[in-house]
Chains A and B, each alone.
Chain A
């Protein structure tokens, strides 16, 4: 469970997150909003790349904001980025094995191979990432997020730029993430079909403010949400 209290982030005169209060319980939770709403900033706060002006984030009873960024990964935070970051020169196995893990030896190798097998998509552990398709490279990132006993997985627009067929496969993978890893997963994406398919609950940000949260189907029909996305409630 992630509890966010009065979280405010400012970049100079711009308030990117404005007193955000939210509770992420379990499973896959969606976080949506128009461009510039503060979604990635929120992920950056959780990852430790951005220091908030005020507020607190408690994850499973631990104060996240007082951990160094690389220690957060050791605590159990996993993250994918908007621009895919799999390393072309290394094999799929080495890309996934890069993640910090308390497991050692054969157990670690099994864990890495299990994560790669879990994402599927015809990804061979011994293939160079540079030889993979865009969709497979995205899956390598998800495999990295699933390895090493994660507790919180942050997926930042994992389906961006993927064709329908690959998005459909990714949907299945993301849906199974909590069952496979036991981690709470937060998904940021603009693909509403994906969000509807995988997220039990969804929160919506607009100009740094939380404008709606609750069961996904209900939130997507919310008048404020439609206005934020489309500029009108008449859809």
Chain B
């Protein structure tokens, strides 16, 4: 029999308690951080950092979508910025063209992005790794060219909603309850929470299991009866939906959108921050959001040239690829534990000169040494 003595066997148990102590601690920390983000931060943040933190919330949703593809399904997409652009464009167009509530427009923009994003990535689903990354980068390039030709809506008519002759372009509207920057920041955080919960619910259910199987081994997933194409498409669609919602949110946050704000190289940067933040954990998406939106703002505030960021990200990705595949989300708690153990050892270390009584006792039992 194998290991029936139970020395190495896992702790046998039932799914009895709904949540163990560790999960409860984690949930408490998350709730406290969210409450701080929603209520404690807005009154003390400057206008500059309120806008920055709104961008962090929005980009956390974008990195959540990309993290889902990279970390859960193993699909390396370099086209997520193009997907964000589609969401922002659809959101802005609908906000100018209709009087629908902002939340409804966000959902519609998410759905439009989901359909377009799924359709354009459908042929690429048979590819993996570098080939998928290249194809999605090319698609992103195509979308960027179309975007530059169409321009972002600025209240004009026609399909594009762009009027080049306007001197004073109207601003994209925000929800009535979130007109100010601090209110919109809170709104963005709540939308981000909802998007994270949506993805989390998927991970706990059948799609989550199927994605885990696909990431482990596609033949094994097929052998288990999982329609891998369907579930990969599902992941792409979900990632596109949340990114589309983030796009509409971005339209409301920026109030005016320009093609120049979505350069294609940002697609690569986005993948870099997702890898650095940690693609295998949801918390990694938040860290990636900070790396993408907060760090550049911080460097700008400190007067440090933005070029340093490229170097920093390059070093960060190299470090992730060589020593920490789980990214900061995985590595930081481990490092903190190591630090705690190191400090504990220093604290408990007995004075070097003092004889260890335990050793003497043991030596005595052994019969002593001459």
- B-contacting residues of A (Cβ < 8 Å)? 47-49, 69-74, 77-79, 81, 85, 87-90, 94, 97-100, 120-124, 126-128, 131-133, 135-136, 139, 144, 165-166, 168-170
Contacts and interface: CB of A to CB of B under 8 A. Distances in A.
B220 A81 contact: yes
A165 B11 CA distance: 21
Contact of A136 (B2, B11, B15): B2
Given A81-B217, A81-B220, A128-B10, A100 B226 contact: yes
A123 B213 CA distance: 20
**Interface majority SS on B: helix, strand, loop or mixed?**
loop
B104 to A, nearest CB: 35
Given A90-B209, A97-B209, A120-B2, 14 more contacts: A49-B219, A69-B222, A69-B223, A71-B225, A72-B225, A85-B217, A85-B220, A88-B216, A100-B226, A121-B3, A122-B9, A124-B10, A126-B15, A135-B3
A38 B173 CA distance: 66
- Sorted nearest first, the 6 A-B pairs with minimum C-beta distance are A100-B225, A73-B225, A127-B10, A121-B2, A122-B9, A85-B220
A136 B213 contact: no
A73 B13 contact: no
Interface in B1-42: 1-4, 6, 8-15
Given A97-B209, A166-B2, A132 B226 contact: no
A86 to B, nearest CB: 8
B107 interface: no
- Give the size category of B's interface with A: 20 to 34
B246 interface: no
A79 to B, nearest CB: 4
Contacts of B2: 120-122, 133, 135-136, 139, 165-166, 169-170
Nearest to B5: A122
Contacts of B213: 87, 98
26 contacts: A69-B223, A70-B225, A70-B227, A73-B225, A73-B226, A81-B223, A85-B216, A90-B212, A94-B212, A98-B210, A100-B225, A100-B226, A122-B1, A122-B4, A122-B12, A123-B9, A123-B10, A124-B10, A126-B14, A132-B10, A133-B3, A136-B9, A144-B224, A165-B1, A168-B1, A169-B1
B283 to A, nearest CB: 15
Contacts of A122: 1-4, 6, 9, 12
Interface in B200-236: 209-210, 212-213, 216-217, 219-220, 222-228
Contacts of B209: 90, 94, 97-98
A55 to B, nearest CB: 21
A99 B220 CA distance: 10
A94 B222 CA distance: 16
